[in-house]
Amino acid sequence: MITNNVISLAEQAISTLLITNLKSTVAKDQVYISDNDEIKQPMPYVIVHAESAEEQVTPGCGLYLVSMSVIFRSHVKETSTDQRTDVVNALNNMAYTSPASALSAITGFHCHGFVPASGSMVVDGESKSYVYNINYSLYCMPR
C-alpha cells in the first residue's frame, strides 16, 4: 500500500515542479501523470511516470528509490525547433536547480536526493513526433 502511495506522490511532485518550469514554453498546461492511454490534447505534451519504487533500508523505514521517467512529445512539423529546444532546456535545467528541496516543499512528500540518470531524443515515425525521454532517480518518502 505504501509503495503505491510513494509512486503517486512522486509523480504528483514532479508534475507540480514541471508545470512551474514549463510555464513559458509550448508545453505549459500539458503535463500528464502516468497514464499513457489517457486522451491528451494534441502535441506537444509531457508525461510523468514513476516506473518503480524500492524501499532502500530495512522494511518499514519509509525511504524509497523511485525510478521516474519524463517524456516530452512534439509533432515534427507543428512544433518548431526553437519551441522544442525551449522545452528540452526547461526539462534539463529543472534537474540542476536544487529539485530535491523544491520537491520537498510539496505537501506530503519529502525528497532526500534527486539524480538525473539519462536522456535521449528519438523520432517516432508512427506518430510523426520527436520523443525526448529523461530518467531520474529520486530518494524520497511520503510524509
Taking alpha carbons only, the member of 116, 121, 110 closest to residue 97 is 116
Strand runs labelled E in the chain: 31-33, 45-55, 64-75, 109-124, 129-142
Structure-derived torsion over alpha carbons of residues 16, 18, 21, 26, reported in degrees to the nearest 10: -120
Taking alpha carbons only, the member of 65, 67, 70 closest to residue 15 is 70
pLDDT at 1: 42
pTM over 0.85, yes/no: yes
Would you give per-residue pLDDT tens digits along the chain (143 residues)?
Answer: 456 789 999 999 999 999 999 999 999 889 999 876 677 788 999 999 999 999 888 777 889 999 999 999 999 999 999 999 999 999 999 888 889 998 998 888 999 999 988 889 999 999 899 999 999 999 999 88
pLDDT at 29: 84
Taking alpha carbons only, the member of 52, 21, 18, 51 closest to residue 32 is 18
State the cell numbers at 28. Answer: 505549459
